[in-house]
Structure 1
């Protein structure tokens, strides 16, 4: 099956989410030590991911709704495998700016453990936007 790696097929539960700064190698957990989330690779070529911070409250004010938006990441699209990367052509996303784009992620698979990292990019969450990346660890469900 060209472009797909059957070893990725199935459901993966999020274990940790770190951000790492390129210069200092400093790592932090912006969404706490125990975030929620799943990554699913379908044999039909579609992936879906939903990740939320651990500490979230239902929102009924603009401020609380903004906080909810800032502590969730969710998207889906058709994916393909290219070496140690998977590339997703996003057709639905929590972030409208991602729709129609391709998102590239690097992965390392070790048995039932999957590590996914973004490319190095300016970190919009940190003052001065230093170059960093996200690193997510998953375990097979």
Structure 2
């Protein structure tokens, strides 16, 4: 691994999760101003991420269980670095459709701040699914 790779190693605490619409550049925080989560890059080449919305209730009904599913993102897999992006080969995910796929994320590292960007894609959180991206900001633990 290169020197740049080792700078990602460790545990990162989620600070913010925004979505940005491509056309208008409008930003929102679909999971609240204080979502919860962690991103971990291991020196063995494995990463894990867990992100949850700010406000969640225990799931004791079908409606509440569905709300829990819609306010969580979690996956793990082997990662590799390619320039300003990391690519993860997904082993296990909260979304079965992602298993055995590759997920690409762009990143910007500035000291103890790590910003992670998804590719531009239809936004499932907004009516009409306009093109947007997710922007997650983490601080080193």
TM-score class normalised by the smaller sequence: over 0.9
Residue 75 of structure 1 aligns with which residue? 75
Deviations along 1:24-63, one digit per CA (max 9) or x if unpaired, are 0000000000000000000000000000001001011000
Q: Distance in 2 between matches of 1:12 and 1:77?
A: 16
Residue 43 of structure 1 aligns with which residue? 43
Q: Distance in 1 between matches of 2:29 and 2:58?
A: 22
| Pairing 1:16–2:26 present | no
Provide the TM-score with structure 2 as the length reference. 0.98
Runs of 4+ in 1 over 4 A off after TM superposition: none
Contact between 1:3 and 1:80, CA under 8 Å: does it hold in 2?
no
Give the C-alpha shift of residue 83 in structure 1.
0.1
Q: Distance in 2 between matches of 1:68 and 1:22?
A: 27
Q: Distance in 1 between matches of 2:30 and 2:89?
A: 26
Over aligned residue pairs, what C-alpha RMSD do you find?
A: 1.2
Deviations along 1:53-94, one digit per CA (max 9) or x if unpaired, are 010010110000000000000000000000000000001000
Residue 98 of structure 1 aligns with which residue? 98
Provide the TM-score with structure 1 as the length reference. 0.98
Give aligned pairs, total: 141
3-state secondary structure, aligned to 2:69: helix
Unmatched segments (≥5 aa) in structure 1: none
Residue 134 of structure 1 aligns with which residue? 134
Unmatched segments (≥5 aa) in structure 2: none
